[in-house]
Structure 1
């Protein structure tokens, strides 16, 4: 049974029909990439899973339970974490405080901090720095660390490389690969080589529909049909 199963969902913003029958699945322990141009429905798919923009039709199941349209806080409590494109760290709090807030109340805070710092040594060097004073790459690392210590079974990661310098992208990619050893990921990523490097499988979206899917391999980056969808 897949950890996440999305079946023929139709999601709207007002009267705009954004997702037109999207279906996908994510098995426990997998990294699955959602790829496609801007505006084709990738982030809306994540929002539909989280209940932030509930589908009008179709079904979302998490760990066998129908969570379609349930409150976002309930979905989060079930073990679905979200790392949004905007990162949304608490800028006036320190690195350590950001991590502590994301740690479940019944969890070992010291162990959570150790996990975050082991995964992201750059954060370990600045535990008392205000999050707002970090570089873009460090803020992204902090956002991922918050998702990691949240004891989530599934992490939805939206455009982790967006706006980052190439070297920082490499650092974030390495950190996500470490995270993937512990947590199942559904990853939205515009950087096709990065997505294929991290993912086990992919789904290609275009105009609110899945138009291709398959195994994530380096050869996908050279597939003319797929590149055509990404550049159209």
Structure 2
């Protein structure tokens, strides 16, 4: 049994049919990349898993438990964390306060801070700085740290390199690689090279359907097999 199992989900926004029978899985210890052009259903897949946009049909199971019909906070309580594209840090709080806010128990705060600063040393240097004044890459690291310390057994990570300079993308990629040693991930990422470097397996979505998938060892960033679905 996989850690996360999505089976034949049909998801709509109003009358618009967005996901048309999407199925995928993530095993414990894996990073799985979800690839595709903008607007084909990748973020909707994550929202469906989290029950922010529940499917009208199909099944989503986490650790064998059905998520469809649960509230999003109940899904989060099961250990499924989300790092959205827009990061959603608390800009007016310091770095340390942001991390503290993500920790479920007061008893675990020091361990959470130690883990965050060990994973991202720059955050310790900026611990008393307001999060809204960090660079884009540092804000992304803070968002990842918040997901890591939130007592999550799996992370859904949406477009972590979006809008970042190439050097910062490399830093964020290295950070995610470190985090992936501790928690499995479902990763949406437009930077194909970064996605394939981080992932063990991939799925490609096109027009709301999974059209390809397999081991990252089977493909490269130059593969025509992928490029036909990723080019504008």
Task: Output the CA distance in 2 between the equivalents of 1:86 and 1:36.
Answer: 19
Task: Output the CA distance in 2 between the equivalents of 1:90 and 1:210.
Answer: 35
Residue 40, structure 1, aligned to residue 48, structure 2: no
In structure 1, stretches of 5+ residues that fail to align are none
- Contact 1:160/1:189, CA 8 A, preserved across alignment: yes
Deviation at 1:68, TM superposition (A): 1.1
Match of 1:132?
Answer: 132
Deviation at 1:66, TM superposition (A): 0.6
Match of 1:71?
Answer: 71
Superposed, which structure 2 residues align to 1:156-195 within 5 Å?
Answer: 156-195=156-195
- Contact 1:197/1:218, CA 8 A, preserved across alignment: no
SS at match of 1:168: helix
Match of 1:152?
Answer: 152
- Contact 1:34/1:187, CA 8 A, preserved across alignment: yes
For residues 134-170 of structure 1, the C-alpha deviation after alignment (integer angstroms, 9 at most, x for no partner) is 0110100000000000010110000000000000000
Superposed, which structure 2 residues align to 1:22-101 within 5 Å?
Answer: 22-101=22-101
Residue 230, structure 1, aligned to residue 197, structure 2: no
Measured on the aligned residues, the alpha-carbon RMSD in Å equals 1.0
SS at match of 2:202: strand
SS at match of 1:17: strand
Residue 207, structure 1, aligned to residue 207, structure 2: yes
- Contact 1:197/1:217, CA 8 A, preserved across alignment: no
For residues 108-135 of structure 1, the C-alpha deviation after alignment (integer angstroms, 9 at most, x for no partner) is 2111001001101111111000010001
Deviation at 1:218, TM superposition (A): 7.6
**TM-score for the superposition, normalised by structure 1:** 0.98
In structure 2, stretches of 5+ residues that fail to align are none
Q: How many equivalent pairs are there?
A: 232
